[in-house]
Structure 1
Amino acid sequence: MKIITSKRISALSLGTVFAVLTCSAQAVGFKAGETDLELYGYAKLDVIYDLDADLGNAILRNRIPLDDDPGADGHLTMHAFESRLGFTTATMVDGDVLRTVIETDFYGGGGFADGGGELRLRHAYGEWKGLLAGQTWTNFGNVLSLYETIDFNRDLGQGGGRQAQIRYTTGPFSFSAEDPKGTGTGHAGGEVIAEDTNQFRFPDLTARYQGSAGPVQFATAALVRFLEYDADGETVSNSAWSDDSATGWGVMAEARARLTDTLTLRGSVTHGDGIGGYLYLSPAAPGYVSSSGKLETIEGTGGGVSLSAKTGPGLLTLAYGVARADVDDAYRDGAIAGTADERYTSTTLNYLWSTTKYLTYGVEAGYHTREQVDGRDGDAVRLQGMVRFNF
């Protein structure tokens, strides 16, 4: 049996780092021919109590009840859909290590709402000599500012989800071409609000720089994308300035600072125009078609901050996140209804501790809000506990 060490983690890709962290860095290793294989994962039970409306198996912000809306309060949910299984391989090829990662969970079949239980692909990619190809976290996403939550839908305001992509990394820089339709949660990464057919002819392009200065690690990333739709049942104009198309962009910055041996501060901010699902759990799509038939982009902004403290046998984390979309013009134009959401916030407090490296417990309290473009708003409280068996 082999356990992944901190030296090995430092050599892995950003996507692998996140996968390892969420699995508490436990792995069972063995060798097949010239290839080292490691199996990792966990079985997890979530116990959820919503004081207000039922927010789903993982928090769905559009289910937060609005003030004065009728509905039953108090809902208990228990499930094991987050249970995870993955494996990595490492093979020496031409003097460099070729790595692959395949990881699944059981949130398939509508698990974020009331379904779940079906096997779902999370990661499937290979990496060799700086070249990565497959599905993993977008190069535009957050890694340094992530912290562990009990609820599966982590806090708001961060960048991106998992995308099919091809990426090249050299030193602190990485560049990618990614699936324009998007595979992350929230609104589809590329689809605009249009009765006509969305067009996807070009990949989304990203660039990222990651570095450190003393106890601070930081990263910044940029995104550019081409949005279009078929207005007349024919292929849209090749001109990027056609009414049927628009250019979207985004920027992101994040940092993690180890303040003391027991305190860690993390933060991130993401902003863009036509950014869509690259803003994690954004309230809005990347764009809409106006009454004149022109494709208009929607601005999105989000961010978050967290403070983690080693306390007793575990880790205590307090965090706040926000995601907002500027949909006022779309509302005035009639492209969206007044009931469309434009702002979500989350404040969470959790404590996770382990009695052994194979067994982790956790408790979490979250206060979540949403606001609609017509001014109506509401809030909800979720309490959650977990027991996780790591291997």
Structure 2
Amino acid sequence: MLKDKRKTIVKMLFLSGFISPYVSALDFKVDETDVSVYGYAKLDVIYDVNDDLGNSTNRGGARLSGAPGSDGHTRLHAYESRVGFSTATLVEGSLLKTKLEGDFYGNGGGDFRLRHAYGEWQGLLAGKTWTNFTGLVAVTPLVDFTGPGGRPRAARQAQLRYTMDNFSFSLEDPEEIGGLEDAPGTKSSLPDVTARYTDRSGRFGYSLSTVARSLEYDSEGTSAGSSSDSAFGWGLAAEAAWDVTSALTLRAGYAEGDGIGGYINGGVNPSPAYVNEGGDLETIRTSGGTLGASLEAGPGNINAAYSLVSADLDSNPAYLNRNESFEEAWLNYIWSPASPITYGVEVGWHRRETVNGAAGDAVRIQGMVKYAF
């Protein structure tokens, strides 16, 4: 009976997204607490046909047409490897869940970093985990750790969240993924506020979300003189996944906003606003979308994804040489010869265009071997 209870709790955690579906786990019990220790070791083998795009794809790394540079770059690394543990304890008739997880992508690769650290009881979550702005519904599986752009960003930040049935609301750190660019006097005095509704009907799942933000600039006492301004930032997102058949899944995601900053995955400019020459705070409008498909084939899946993200930067003359849009496409095959083992091969195409019309693209070929526990 104890074993059945443990299986039931683990199943509940899995369905709630508490335990990642991409890893297996070692489960045991300590007193009245069920514990899962999980993780994986992953090797990425990367060949950049054109420019060196980094440990995970640097969308702004493609060489602009006519610019000097070298082709052909190989790298192998294991920075995505991760380890974590989660717990579930029955407290006053409700599950108290906790999770701690980290990987080695700190400082771009090589340093251990915290991914998740939170607890949740009776619908109240406190700590660091996925921003509530994303529902993770439109994420097409890729070998590339960067993931498809044009959707709500699957990033993690500190927050206080309450979930009631299909609705969730949160107060989140305004600096980690959506902070203003480093200019004298830029600040955040209020948390970001998000709301999300996620549901599924038969073979169709979807998520709708919004974020509201307070952006501020006050240069009093700084080298920039004395001026101040504030602006309202907002973002909207929709994600959907449709299991057309038992073998074919289609996905789509869309996100846009004014002053949304880094809440869009693959955002052209992570800063939500800039200070113009008159000392006024100008928000940046950004939008993006992604399409994806997964088809079962043999022991694995063929996955294809496309994304496009663009920002309106023309009003700032200082941004003429900055990126204005990112366009990307991926095709891969990911398979598992046994449940804790995953292999994958992928080709990705990445294009960027700047405000002044210059453009460049690059191709990345990537393979992976992942052993989970």
Shared fold (TM-score greater than 0.5)? yes
Relative to structure 1, is the Cα distance of residues 84 and 301 closer, same or farther in structure 2, using a 3 angstrom cutoff?
Answer: same
Aligned counterpart in structure 1 of residue 180 of structure 2, from 191, 197, 201: 191
Could you list the runs of 5+ residues in structure 2 that have no partner in the other structure?
none
Structure 2 counterpart of 1:313, from 299, 304, 316: 299
1:301 deviation in Å?
0.3
SS of 2:18 mapped into structure 1: helix
SS in 2 for 1:211: strand
Check conservation: 1:14, 1:143, Cα contact below 8 A.
no
Report the count of equivalent residues. 364
Aligned to 1:62, the other structure's residue is in SS state: coil
Aligned partners of 1:149 and 1:361: how far apart in 2?
11
Opposite residue 214 of structure 1, the aligned amino acid is: G
Q: Report the Cα distance in structure 2 between the residues aligned to 1:84 and 1:66, rounded to whole angstroms.
A: 35
Does residue 37 of structure 1 match 2:30? no
* CA contact 2:293–2:305 (8 Å) conserved in 1: yes
Provide the residue aligned with 2:217 in structure 1: 229
Task: For residue 9 of structure 1, report the CA deviation from its aligned partner.
Answer: 4.8
One of 147, 168, 171 as aligned partner of 1:174: 168
Which sections of structure 1, spanning at least 5 residues, go unmatched? 235-241
Checking the alignment, whether the CA contact within 8 Å between 1:15 and 1:137 is kept in structure 2 is no
Q: Which residue of 2 aligns with 1:200?
A: 188
- Residue pair 2:218, 2:228 contacting (<8 A) in 1 also: no
Aligned partner of 2:215: which letter?
Answer: L
1:233, CA displacement in angstroms? 2.4
Partners of 1:94 and 1:135 lie apart in 2 by 24
Cα distance change, pair 389–12 in 1 and its aligned pair in 2 (3 A): closer
Alpha-carbon separation, structure 2, partners of 1:67 and 1:88: 48
Alignment of 1:255-266 (within 5 A): 255-266=240-251
Partner of 1:252: 237
Q: Which residues in structure 2 correspond to 1:274-313 (within 5 Å)?
A: 274-284=259-269, 285-313=271-299
What is the Cα deviation at residue 287 of structure 1?
0.4
1:53 to 48, 51, 76: 51
Letter in 2 for 1:146: V
Alpha-carbon displacement from aligned partner over 1:204-225 (angstroms, at most 9, x marks no partner): 0001111223311111011100
How far off its partner does 1:148 sit? 1.7
> Structure 2 residue aligned with 1:68, among 66, 69, 74?
66
CA distance in 1: counterparts of 2:104 and 2:339, whole angstroms: 23
State the Cα distance separating 1:232 from its structure 2 match. 2.1
Instruction: Name the CA distance, whole Å, in 2 between partners of 1:156 and 1:310.
Output: 23
- Match of 2:316, SS state, is helix
Partner SS, residue 329 of structure 1: coil
Tell me the TM-score normalized by structure 1.
0.89
1:302-337 deviations in Å (ceiling 9; x for gaps):
110101000011010011011111111123xxxx33
Paired residue secondary structure (1:61): coil
- Which runs of structure 2 are paired with 1:91-170 in the superposition (5 Å)? 91-108=89-106, 110-111=107-108, 116-160=109-153, 161-170=155-164
Q: Give the Cα separation in 1 of the matches to 2:368 and 2:89.
A: 36
CA contact (8 A) 2:255 2:288 kept: yes
AA at the equivalent of 2:130: W
- With over 3 angstroms needed to count, the CA separation of the structure-2 counterparts of 1:137 and 1:365, relative to structure 1, is same
Evaluate the alpha carbon distance shift between residue 325 and residue 82 of structure 1 in structure 2; reply closer, same or farther with a 3 A threshold: same
User: Does residue 345 in structure 1 map to residue 331 in structure 2?
Assistant: no
d(CA) in 2 for partners of 1:254, 1:7: 28
Matched, 1:268 2:246: no
Measure, in 2, the Cα distance between the counterparts of 1:33 and 1:250. Answer: 45
Post-superposition shift, 1:193? Answer: 5.9
Q: Structure 2 length normalisation: TM-score?
A: 0.93
Identity %: 47
Partner of 2:349: 367
Structure 1 consecutive aligned stretches of length 4 or more whose deviation exceeds 4 Å: 2-15
